[in-house]
Amino acid sequence: MIRSFNGYDSLAEAYVKNKQNDLAIDNFKKSMQCNPKNENALKMLEKLAVH
């Protein structure tokens, strides 16, 4: 289990690069749960059209 918002964020970035957007979205959301101020996750969720 990842305990850091940055770990989820980095994993999500890897999923984006691998075109696994569903997994990326899940991990960006987990990152936001750990750190609601995570600007990168918020930006990427908007880019992936998640509201």
pTM for this model (two decimals): 0.89
pLDDT attached to residue 32: 95
CB 27 within 8 A of CB 12: yes
pLDDT tens for each residue of the chain, 51 residues long? 667 899 999 999 999 999 999 999 999 999 999 999 999 999 999 999 875
In this predicted structure, what is the pLDDT of residue 51? 59
Whole-number Å distance between alpha carbons of 23 and 35: 18
pLDDT on residue 50: 76
Q: Range of 40's domain?
A: 5-47
* Number of domains forming the structure of the chain: 1
> 2 with 34: CB under 8 angstroms?
no
**Is the CB of residue 35 less than 8 Å from the CB of residue 19?**
no
Instruction: Give me the pLDDT at residue 33, please.
Output: 94
